[in-house]
Amino acid sequence: MAVFDTSFHQTMPPTSFLYSIPYEYYERHKIRKYGFHGTSHRYVMSRAAELMGRPAENFRLISCHIGNGVSVTAIRYGESYDTSMGLTPLAGVTMGTRSGNLDPAVIPYLEQLEGLESDEVMRVLNHHSGLLGISGVSNDIRDLLKLSKEGHHRSQLAIELFVSKLHQYIGLYMARLNGTDGIIFTAGVGENSPEIRELICQGLEYAGVFLDAYANWLGKEDRIISTAYSPVKVMVIPTDEEIVMARDAYQIVITDQTRSLGILETAG
């Protein structure tokens, strides 16, 4: 059985998934945004709804999967509405070693100036960019936080850039969703770094985001880390992609068995 990491994003409207290039390329080659981390975004959406006490269909949520790969998803009433990754996982925010968005004209320019083939440029953008490329030392946030406290300028710059891109996507998706009821942090950095969560939420007070410092810094489990009066609930939810895959597989097996026993058909 295969569970596609893109399937959660199939509900995106054309205004989210189309690129502004000739429409024929979409028709001919299906060049469009597909999005990734769908299994993770789907899982944390369900858990967030449980924490907020009502089904996901009631909420607009912004889910931030921040690990070595990073993606942000705007979830509108239980469905993916927009997401930061694209045709490939290279798009969107700054990641551990991936560049995220950049002006596409940078690519031929780099080829020309550095004498690189296009596959070499792709290798640079996928494996030598992001936190690693900017800092020059590591793609691990733990190293960069430590080094920046010791005065390593490029580590500090890498963290600032990383946080700034996530901050921008939250603002973008607040606009796409006409506001948000909740922001979710998940994956390696999102679950484990109160410092990064705090930096991302700084300057979102105007939009109703008020972190509870105590809840942010303490605890390991699924929890709300915004204050009781914060209009936007901020949540930390350890992701669990395996359980989603297991449930999907179970659902398919059960449906298959029911069908082969003729139960579905007799039930009309």
Contact pattern from residue 77 through residue 116 relative to ligand AMP, giving x for each residue in contact according to CB under 6 A and a dash for the rest: -------------------x--------------------
90 vs 84: CA distance, rounded Å: 10
Enumerate residues 6+ apart whose C-beta is below 8 A from 6: 34, 35, 36, 38
Does residue number 236 form part of the binding site for ligand AMP (CB under 6 A)? Answer: no
Q: Which pairs count as long-range contacts for 48-55, CB under 8 Å and 24+ apart, including other chains?
A: 48/182, 48/184, 48/233, 48/235, 48/237, 51/222, 51/223, 51/224, 51/233, 51/235, 51/237, 52/181, 52/182, 52/233
Minimal distance in Å, beta carbon 139 to ligand AMP? 6
**Best CA proximity match to 158, nearest among 106, 68, 96:** 96
Minimal distance in Å, beta carbon 79 to ligand AMP? 24
- C-beta separation of 62 from 173 below 8 A: yes
**Residue 5 is a catalytic residue:** yes
Using the rule CB under 6 A, give the single segment among 24-32, 74-82, 107-115, 137-145 that binds ligand AMP.
137-145
Minimal distance in Å, beta carbon 222 to ligand AMP? 16
- Pick one of 94, 135, 148, 192: the residue that binds ligand AMP (CB under 6 A): 192
**Best CA proximity match to 181, nearest among 66, 55, 67, 65:** 55
Q: Could you tell me how many residues of this chain bind ligand AMP (CB under 6 A)?
A: 12
Q: Cα-flanking dihedrals φ and ψ of residue 236, to 5°?
A: -110, 125
- Pick one of 79, 111, 140, 198: the residue that binds ligand AMP (CB under 6 A): 140
- C-beta separation of 181 from 52 below 8 A: yes
Does residue number 189 form part of the binding site for ligand AMP (CB under 6 A)? Answer: yes
* Residue with smaller CB distance to ligand AMP, 67 or 182: 67
Q: Which two tokens stand for residue 105?
A: 């004209």
Does residue number 133 form part of the binding site for ligand AMP (CB under 6 A)? Answer: no
* Residue with smaller CB distance to ligand AMP, 83 or 139: 139
* Residue with smaller CB distance to ligand AMP, 73 or 192: 192
Angle at 30 between CA 112 and CA 177, to 5 degrees: 95
Does residue number 134 form part of the binding site for ligand AMP (CB under 6 A)? Answer: no
- C-beta separation of 66 from 139 below 8 A: no
Residue of this chain nearest to ligand AMP (CB atom): 188
Footprint on this chain of ligand AMP (rule: CB under 6 A): 67-68, 96, 139-142, 187-189, 192-193
Active site residues: 5
